[in-house]
Structure 1
Amino acid sequence: MAEFIYIPETLRERLGEQGSKELVEVLNQAARSLRESINESTVERIERRIAETKTEIVKEIANAKADLLKWMFVFWVGQVLAIIGFLYTLLR
């Protein structure tokens, strides 16, 4: 990515052409380093959020499974009791 930095004429005269180029290179390198650092911290933050969200989702799924199992048990007990009541009434 091309980066343009304007160096005022008076500063360019004091630094000279080579000094100006080196100053621009130092500034560009500092900007690249800062950008990379920001990108790394952003990626780490996003990865941490993804891991937290994944943990929350796993917990929610486990809770849903436990709740479903509980209600299945209640349903089947009710069905068995209804069948026993029906057979008791029928065979009486």
Structure 2
Amino acid sequence: MSVILLPESVRAKLGDAADDFIKLLNEVADARTEQQRITEFKLSQATDLAKEFTGVRKEIADVRVEIKETKSEIIKWMFIFWIGQLVAIFGFLKFFGK
């Protein structure tokens, strides 16, 4: 809670309205403080969310690298399988072709 005090000279000029004026100023100051807390909270949430997105993007990049490596491994083993099949077919043809 904010505390705002008025000098005696101002208090004398305002008369009975001085207390109401001080109350109003304190309410405005409290509202600003609450708004600042809300803004800071939202900013911290946005910062946390940005960190999360950065982490997710890094994970996606890692998965893409893994997929590329896996694709190259699959293609390599497919060629090895095909070559083995061709060797087996030619072997059978040669063996049974006589």
TM-score range, shorter chain: 0.7 to 0.9
Q: Does 1:50 align with 2:56?
A: yes
TM-score, normalised to structure 1's length?
0.79
Q: Point out which structure has higher relative CO (alpha carbons under 8 A, 6+ apart).
A: 2
Which residue is equivalent to 1:4?
none
Moved over 2 A (4+): none
Which residue is equivalent to 1:81?
87
Q: 2-side partners of 1:73 and 1:91: how far apart?
A: 26
Could you say which structure has the larger radius of gyration?
A: 2
RMSD: 1.9
- Residues 19-75 of structure 1: CA deviation (Å, up to 9, x unaligned): 220121121121022012102211211111111111011111111100000000000
What is the 5 A alignment of 1:1-92?
7=1, 11=3, 14=5, 16-92=22-98
Letter in 2 for 1:19: L
Q: 1-side partners of 2:48 and 2:56: how far apart?
A: 12
Structure 1 unaligned segments of length 5 or more: list them.
1-6
Q: 2-side partners of 1:44 and 1:91: how far apart?
A: 69
TM-score, normalised to structure 2's length?
0.75
Q: 2-side partners of 1:52 and 1:62: how far apart?
A: 16
Between the two proteins, the alignment pairs up a number of residues equal to 83
Letter in 1 for 2:68: A
